[in-house]
């Protein structure tokens, strides 16, 4: 078979060359049958005027409203963040809405990753009892041991770990004892470094980085991950002066993380004319 392929290779390459050259010379710009759209600046203004769907009701109505809200919230802009937060807080005591978010997170976790992420964020922001149960269930799902290996990692495993990290953000944001216990346990024992790292960051942030929280974490997390306690969080809107000061302290406290200097590669002269013909 190998021999066959070797014999055929020139034929295949030749064919490939011919077809590639043929298409290259007849290349057309990309095309569409759709009608031209307006300037995005206008579209964006129109989108900003869209009203958020009401987050109310029970049973089927709650479900319909919750799904419409996820659509709207996923598309919402930074300036609408506060609207989202207020509306979700308003639905805190409506378990049908929270359960609809929860069902959607589970339903989409293997289908549409970014939608599951948005749904989990809403559950976390709601700070509700029903949401807590949902997030614990979500974060307890076993990570796949088999699947598609991408750059040495099982992609299905990484995908789920990233969503679990978001569920952990929500649990830490509850700021109650039971949820905190789960977060600390995840910081110590979740099999994914991605989830452990997020659990540490979320626990510290929600406890204002106080000394007691550091101690609690320090006593349980893996020794080789103690550095996560000092990991730099680049807070949104933090001015560079304060961030850079923290960075200097971080590097001084952890000289071991300074990387070695970069290395030059062996010089590889570009071939310009190829090898001479065989004599």
Q: Please, which of residues 198-217 interact with another protein by CB under 8 A?
A: 198, 201-202, 205-206
In the bound complex, what is the minimum distance in angstroms from residue 10's beta carbon to another protein? 9
Q: Which is nearer to another protein, 65 or 170 (CB)?
A: 170
| Total residues in contact with another protein, by rule CB under 8 A | 114
Q: Which is nearer to another protein, 59 or 241 (CB)?
A: 241
Task: Give the integer Cα–Cα distance in Å for 131 and 98.
Answer: 6
Q: Does 275 bind another protein (CB under 8 A)?
A: no
Q: Which is nearer to another protein, 211 or 265 (CB)?
A: 265
Q: Select from 58-66, 92-100, 208-216, 245-253 the region that touches another protein (CB under 8 A).
A: 245-253
Q: Select from 32-40, 61-69, 90-98, 211-219 the region that touches another protein (CB under 8 A).
A: 32-40
Q: Does 180 bind another protein (CB under 8 A)?
A: no
Q: Residue from 75, 107, 220, 249 that binds another protein (CB under 8 A)?
A: 75
Q: Residues 122, 70: contact at Cβ < 8 Å?
A: yes
H helix or E strand, kind and range, residue 253:
helix 240-253
Contacts of residue 258, defined as CB under 8 A and 6 or more positions apart, other chains included, come to 251
Q: Does 229 bind another protein (CB under 8 A)?
A: no
Q: Does 240 bind another protein (CB under 8 A)?
A: yes
Closest alpha carbon to 186 in 175, 197, 173: 197
Q: Which is nearer to another protein, 75 or 220 (CB)?
A: 75
Output b/e per residue, 150-177; b: 16+ Cβ within 10 A.
eeeebebbbbbbbbbbbbbbbbbbbeee
Q: Which parts of 76-206 fold into alpha helices (H)?
A: 81-90, 95-108, 113-126, 129-140, 155-174, 177-189, 193-206
CA distances from 9 to 12, 20, 24, 234 (A): 5, 16, 22, 53
Q: Select from 51-59, 93-101, 115-123, 212-220 the region that touches another protein (CB under 8 A).
A: 115-123
Q: Which is nearer to another protein, 59 or 224 (CB)?
A: 224
Q: Does 176 bind another protein (CB under 8 A)?
A: no
Task: Give the integer Cα–Cα distance in Å for 247 and 197.
Answer: 18
- Using CB under 8 A, which residues numbered 135 to 154 contact another protein? 148-153
In eight-state DSSP terms, residue 14 is H
Task: Give the integer Cα–Cα distance in Å for 11 and 65.
Answer: 60
Q: Select from 16-24, 55-63, 92-100, 212-220 the region that touches another protein (CB under 8 A).
A: 16-24
Q: Does 249 bind another protein (CB under 8 A)?
A: no
Task: Give the integer Cα–Cα distance in Å for 162 and 207.
Answer: 22
Q: Residue from 188, 216, 226, 227 that binds another protein (CB under 8 A)?
A: 227
In eight-state DSSP terms, residue 110 is T
In the bound complex, what is the minimum distance in angstroms from residue 140's beta carbon to another protein? 18
């Amino acid at each position: 078979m190998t021999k066959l392929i070797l014999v055929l290779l020139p034929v295949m390459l030749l064919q490939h060359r011919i077809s590639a050259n043929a298409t290259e010379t007849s290349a057309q710009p990309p095309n569409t049958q759709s009608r031209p759209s307006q300037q995005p600046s206008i579209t964006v203004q129109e989108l900003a005027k869209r009203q958020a769907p009401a987050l109310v009701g029970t049973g089927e109505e709650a479900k319909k409203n919750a799904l419409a809200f996820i659509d709207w919230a996923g598309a919402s802009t930074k300036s609408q963040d506060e609207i989202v937060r207020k509306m979700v807080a308003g639905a805190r005591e409506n378990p049908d809405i929270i359960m609809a978010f929860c069902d959607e997170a589970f339903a989409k976790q293997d289908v549409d990753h970014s939608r599951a992420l948005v749904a989990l964020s809403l559950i976390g922001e709601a700070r509700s009892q029903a949401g807590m149960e949902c997030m614990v269930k979500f974060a307890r799902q076993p990570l796949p041991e088999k699947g598609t290996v991408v750059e040495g990692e099982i992609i299905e495993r990484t995908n789920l770990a990233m969503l679990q990290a978001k569920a952990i953000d929500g649990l830490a944001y509850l700021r109650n004892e039971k949820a905190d216990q789960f977060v600390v346990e995840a910081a110590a024992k979740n099999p994914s470094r991605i989830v452990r790292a997020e659990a540490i960051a979320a626990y510290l942030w929600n406890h204002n980085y106080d000394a007691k929280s550091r101690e609690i974490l320090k006593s349980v997390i893996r020794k080789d991950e103690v550095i996560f306690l000092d990991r730099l969080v680049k807070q949104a809107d933090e001015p560079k002066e304060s961030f850079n000061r923290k960075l200097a302290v971080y590097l001084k406290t952890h000289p071991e993380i300074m990387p070695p200097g970069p290395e030059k590669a062996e010089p590889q002269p570009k071939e310009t004319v190829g090898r001479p013909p065989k004599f």
